[in-house]
Amino acid sequence: MGPRFRDRAIAFTLVELLVVCAILTTLLAVLLPVFPRVRAMGWRAACIANLRQVGIALQLYREDYGELPPLLSSIVPTYLTASPLLICPADPYAGQFAGNARVEGNTYLPSGVSYCYVPRWRVAQELGWWDPFPHFGPGKWGDLTPVVECPWHWARRFRPHQDHNDPGSRGWQLVLMMAGSVRKIRVEDPIETFTPDRYR
């Protein structure tokens, strides 16, 4: 192999490398914006699976005691053996904060709770969705009454005194209804106007 041929071979390899680089750059430019959306879809799917398990546990508790548990964490460990099922993968705090009016956090359960237990929510009691502590009653719309809500797919911040959606909030909140299935409702809909036909 003469020196001229070797140079040509190296030059050809460089052109190939440049082409590969261009293809990779194009692929990355196309795929990078997709990754956060794919991740968010994965979080939603995992959260919905968690909420369904929580719904089964709540129904079992209700069959045994004739009422709902006082706290969401009360279903652990008898009715929900795996406490990570109370953590939403989209919760940036992984349930580890001192709770507020909506989310109990790690106040009662050290492994933490990401989800909002609607019967304990002050606004839900004021609006008559659920009777006050301790029994909570049948719920304003029976099986269609919201019982557990995940705020972490629209709210990325934790505020200690949060008791209501911020005005101007946008996005979907995942809602487990007493019947056991998970629906979503728009967070910007005024909460006082909620009826089950708002489920999507």
Determine if residue 159 is left, alpha or beta; phi over 0 gives left, psi from -120 to 50 gives alpha, anything else beta. Answer: beta
> Nearest approach, Cβ of 174 to Zn ion (angstroms)?
5
Q: Which of residues 140-169 bind Zn ion (CB under 5 A)?
A: 150, 152
Name the residue nearer to Zn ion (CB basis): 22 or 41: 41
> Nearest approach, Cβ of 58 to Zn ion (angstroms)?
16
Query: Which range touches Zn ion (CB under 5 A), out of 18-26, 67-75, 88-96, 180-188?
Result: 88-96
> Nearest approach, Cβ of 162 to Zn ion (angstroms)?
16
Q: What distance in Å separates the CA atoms of residue 48 and residue 35, rounded to the nearest whole number?
A: 20
Omega into 77 within 30° of 0, i.e. cis? yes
Name the residue nearer to Zn ion (CB basis): 52 or 140: 52
Query: Which range touches Zn ion (CB under 5 A), out of 39-47, 54-62, 71-79, 121-129?
Result: 39-47
Place of tokens 């795996």: 82
- The full DSSP string for 47-85 is HHHHHHHHHHHHHHHHHHHSS--SSGGGGTTTT-S-GGG
- Judge whether 112 and 99 are in contact, CB under 8 Å: no
> Nearest approach, Cβ of 85 to Zn ion (angstroms)?
11
Name the residue nearer to Zn ion (CB basis): 47 or 124: 47
> Nearest approach, Cβ of 87 to Zn ion (angstroms)?
9
Q: What distance in Å separates the CA atoms of residue 119 and residue 30, rounded to the nearest whole number?
A: 45
Residue 47 near Zn ion by CB under 5 A: yes
Query: Which range touches Zn ion (CB under 5 A), out of 4-12, 44-52, 98-106, 158-166?
Result: 44-52
Q: How far is CA 160 from CA 38, 101, 166, 200, in A?
A: 30, 8, 13, 29
Among 54, 80, 86, 88, binds Zn ion (CB under 5 A): 88
Name the residue nearer to Zn ion (CB basis): 70 or 171: 171
Q: Which two tokens stand for residue 66?
A: 């004739």
Q: Which two tokens stand for residue 143?
A: 């099986």
Name the residue nearer to Zn ion (CB basis): 85 or 88: 88
Q: Please give the residue ranges that form the binding site for Zn ion (CB under 5 A).
A: 47, 88, 90, 150, 152
